[in-house]
Amino acid sequence: MSEGRRVTHRSTRPLMGTFVTVTIAHGDASTAEALIDLAFDAMTAWCAEASEWEPEAAVSRLSGAPVGEPVALPTPLFRLLLLAQRVWRESSGAFDPSWLPLKALWPIRGQSEPPAPDAVAAALAEVGLDALHLREGEPATAVKRRAGLRLGLGAIAKGAAVDLACEALEAAGATRFLIDAGGDIRGRADRAGWVVGIRDGRGADLHSLIHLQRGAVATSGSYEAGFEHEGQRYHHLLDPRTGYPVPRLGGCTVIAPSCALADALATACFVLGSEAGRDLLRHHPGSAALWLEADGTETASDGWQSTSDRVELPPATGFC
């Protein structure tokens, strides 16, 4: 596919509870529009299988299945659950998509006080990906080992959607594109790269810029939603090992080869903090992280400095 002189084409649409922007650099407008539609079609199809809000989605059927009953899974969802189990194991449970029983106790928006401790303890008893058994095969299947196991893929599904859209674009011959799904970003570009802005630890200002040539970046930040109760701030990023929000305010941004991996690692690294988070990143060559606390404290893992620079221009194309 000949792309001709670079012209930027962009479309933003509501999807996955956020706004998703697909940017294509291409010399032909009609081809660029077709590529944009292709990317959105890939993400929409993924949502039909991975959203816990869709009762007919594969992930919902798995959550509702009886113990011991194999549930056939589409290949992309099976691959994602394999990745989720890997990060869950490597992070000692700091990242855990079986957190849905806890999520029900922490709606955050409209919430004015934390749930009762006994309710948290009861929900914690249902959390843990050790109760999910994945089987390779045709078709690939998953089996629940605990009746209360329910999956919520909010901390990784957007990244996976972005990856699937990028794979579709590359299969169609596109070589210059950027997809931003509410801060879960992946792109491919020439030497100059796409410019992605990293928000500070309060989510209020631009901290720095990344020039993204090929790969993905994602941020987990406590500033997105929360409430105050008796002088304490409660936010939406829960530690699935304790059942309570992480007792820290700020954010963690991760660069990784895929957006699903960046998404999962950003969540895990925020929960773990910088010391244990750097240990986790050693399992994933090509990944790096930057922790930004609300009080201005900054900590970077090995490799971060070579991929980010604190500059004022050019303006960011996407934001984490």
- Evaluate if residue 4 carries a pLDDT over 70: no
d(CA 139, CA 244): 37
Average pLDDT over residues 179-208: 87
Higher pLDDT, 319 or 282: 282
- Chain segment 106-133, per-residue pLDDT in tens: 998 888 999 999 999 999 999 999 999 9
- Evaluate if residue 310 carries a pLDDT over 50: no
Please report the pLDDT score of residue 314 as a whole number: 46
Average pLDDT over residues 215-231: 89
- Chain segment 152-187, per-residue pLDDT in tens: 998 999 999 999 999 999 999 999 999 999 999 999
Band of residue 312 on the pLDDT scale cut at 50, 70, 90: very low
- Evaluate if residue 257 carries a pLDDT over 50: yes
d(CA 132, CA 2): 46
- Which domains does the chain carry? 8-26+174-319 (3.10.520.10)
Instruction: Name the residue with tokens 């011991």.
Output: 68
Please report the pLDDT score of residue 315 as a whole number: 53
- Chain segment 68-93, per-residue pLDDT in tens: 999 999 999 999 999 999 999 999 99
Please report the pLDDT score of residue 209 as a whole number: 85
Mean pLDDT of the chain: 91
How far apart, in Å, are the Cα atoms of 189 and each of 69, 130, 170, 314?
45, 39, 12, 16
- Evaluate if residue 308 carries a pLDDT over 70: no
Q: Please work out, in degrees rounded to the nearest 5, the angle formed at the alpha carbon of residue 154 by the alpha carbons of 122 and 231.
A: 60
Model pTM score:
0.92
- Evaluate if residue 218 carries a pLDDT over 90: yes
Percent of the chain clearing pLDDT 90 (strictly above): 72
